[in-house]
Amino acid sequence: MISASFLPPVTAVAERFDAALLPAESGTYILLLESGQHSDVAIGRFATLALQPGWYLYVGSAFGPGGLRARVGRHLRRHKSLRWHIDYLRSRTQLRQIWYCNEKQRRESLWAGELAKMPGLTIPLAGFGASDRRGESHLFYTAACPKAAAFRQRLLKADPCHSPVQTLSLA
């Protein structure tokens, strides 16, 4: 059997994001969002985020019906009811990449923990996207565009059997 650490990451480039490119299976994902503005974003009744130019990484999981395809598909829609913290941020940012792996094991906390250790990434709003996980945040910020390869290396160091993280980029 081949270890996941020896499997190459898959990168796809699309003209536009289409949820059909993602598997309809369970998994974990990161939305890589770009902001070009300074503004305050009300995150429902939770808090206000001081948005600044740069890159936001949001860690999520998809374990419901339709898996990654359904959950990320919801994030791709611009016109929807604002339900989750990320819905408020998505209305003010541009989606540039999706990093994901499809597997049945929940990896959200591992991924958030590894992002928190990466140089240059900060937590812009504690508790964002992690209301059910005390002391965690699933939102990170950096001024420079982060690289999926550096994140993949961190994950494999933390868990050598981790499934490959794939990326979907907008052309």
CA distances to 13, 58, 104, 113, 169 from 151, in Å: 19, 13, 20, 11, 16
Q: Are 59 and 112 in contact (CB under 8 A)?
A: yes
Query: In the prediction, which pLDDT does 131 show?
Result: 59
Q: Identity (one letter) of the amino acid at 78? A: R
- The Cα 113–Cα 72 span in angstroms is 21
- Model confidence at 2, in pLDDT bands (50, 70, 90)? very low
Q: Identity (one letter) of the amino acid at 149? A: A
- Mean pLDDT, rounded, of the chain: 85
pLDDT (tens digit per residue) in 29-58? 999 999 999 999 888 788 888 999 999 999
For the ranges 7-16, 19-28, 76-85, 121-130, the lowest mean pLDDT is seen at 7-16
pLDDT (tens digit per residue) in 81-122? 887 888 889 988 999 999 999 989 999 999 999 999 999 999
- At 21 the three-state DSSP class reads helix
Query: In the prediction, which pLDDT does 8 show?
Result: 42
Tokens (6 digits) for 93:
């940012």
pTM exceeds 0.75 for this model: yes
Percent of the chain with pLDDT over 70: 87
